[in-house]
Structure 1
Amino acid sequence: MARIPTHTVDSAPEPVREELSALKEQFGKVLNIHGAMAHSPVVLQSYVALQQVIGDYGTFDAATRESVALAVGNVNECTYCQSAHTAGAKAAGLSEAQTVAIRNHEVDFDPRLDALLAVAREATGRQGTVAEATWQAALDAGWTDAELAELSAHVTLNLFTNYFNHMIGTDLDVPAAPGL
């Protein structure tokens, strides 16, 4: 059960109503995570800003972004994010079986993606530290220095939402991800 109630657009603090309304339009409703973030303008505005920068300047396609989110969410055992990003990954063209494979660290359907996700998982599980061999394997798989640097922003965004959900206890309001 959530520790704080979920705001609606009308009940949210004035400084976040516009952003919360835009998120409602994007997702068809105020998701519990966004409604809870709305309690603190700094939280919702930070989330929106990170999403905006990634949208404006990021080079990863939607399937790659969702794959990173699934990998990070799995390492952090964030049920909410794994569920939300399973839906997002399916909308981006991944099959449900592929979303499960990503969460199980079994990305044999795309060795290049597997190398990137290994960096993301290691960075997540080791407080940002990535072994030289893991980094080099990603370079050898064809990822560039710029793409691996960009990965840090995607990992950071997902750590932000994972930790928020853990702290708040966000109630699941999206279809649950398949069990592993």
Structure 2
Amino acid sequence: MSRIPVHTTDNAPAASQETLRHLEKRFGKVLNIHGEMAHSPVVLAVYAAVNEAIAEHGTFDARTREAIALAVGAVDDCTYCQSAHTIGAKNAGFTEAETVAIRRGVADVEPRLAALLEVVRETAGEVGEVSDTTWDKALAAGWTDTELTESFVHVAANLYTNYFNHLARTDLDLPAAPALDA
């Protein structure tokens, strides 16, 4: 059970209402995570600002962003994010089986994406540390140092929501991602 009240656009603090309305429009409803973040306007504002910066300046396509989110959600064992990004990844063209494989870290995806996901997993799982071997493998696969640097903000944005969900114990209001042990 969630520790934090889930607000609606009507009962959220005034400073959160506009952002919450925007997110409701984008996702078709107020997701539990957003309604909980709205409880503290600064939490919701930071989430929105990071996502706005990614939308404005980011260079990764939806497929790459969702693969990153699945990998980070799996590293951090965030049920909510794995569920949300399974939906997003399927909308971006992945099959359900591919979403499970990405989460397991064994996806048979194109080698270039696989090399980026290695960087992402190490970034998330090793407190920002990435081995020279992993970094060089990603460069050899065709990623630029600028793109590898950009991957950091995607990891950080996903860590933000993962950690928030762990803190809040956000109740799942989306279809659950397939189990990894299946």
Please give the range of the TM-score, normalised by the shorter of the 2 chains.
over 0.9
Q: Which runs of 5+ in 1 are unaligned?
A: none
Q: Which runs of 5+ in 2 are unaligned?
A: none
Which residue does the alignment assign to 2:172?
172
Superposed displacement of residue 146, structure 1: 0.6
Question: Normalising by structure 2, what TM-score?
Answer: 0.98
- CA–CA distance in structure 2, aligned partners of residues 104 and 92 of structure 1: 19
Give the root-mean-square deviation of aligned CA atoms.
0.6
Which residue does the alignment assign to 2:142?
142
The runs of at least 4 aligned residues of structure 1 exceeding 6 Å deviation read none
Q: Residues 16-165 of structure 1: matches in 2 within 5 Å? A: 16-165=16-165
Kept in 2: contact 1:78–1:165 (CA 8 A): yes
Q: Residue 99 of structure 2 aligns to which amino acid in structure 1?
A: T
Superposed displacement of residue 4, structure 1: 1.2
- Aligned residues with identical type, % of pairs: 62
1:85-142 CA-partner distances (Å, limit 9, x unpaired): 0000011111111101101111222111110000000011110000000000000100
- CA–CA distance in structure 2, aligned partners of residues 140 and 175 of structure 1: 38
Kept in 2: contact 1:112–1:138 (CA 8 A): yes
Query: What is the number of equivalent residue pairs in this alignment?
Result: 180
SS in 1 for 2:179: coil
Question: Normalising by structure 1, what TM-score?
Answer: 0.99
- CA–CA distance in structure 1, aligned partners of residues 31 and 108 of structure 2: 33
- CA–CA distance in structure 2, aligned partners of residues 173 and 43 of structure 1: 20
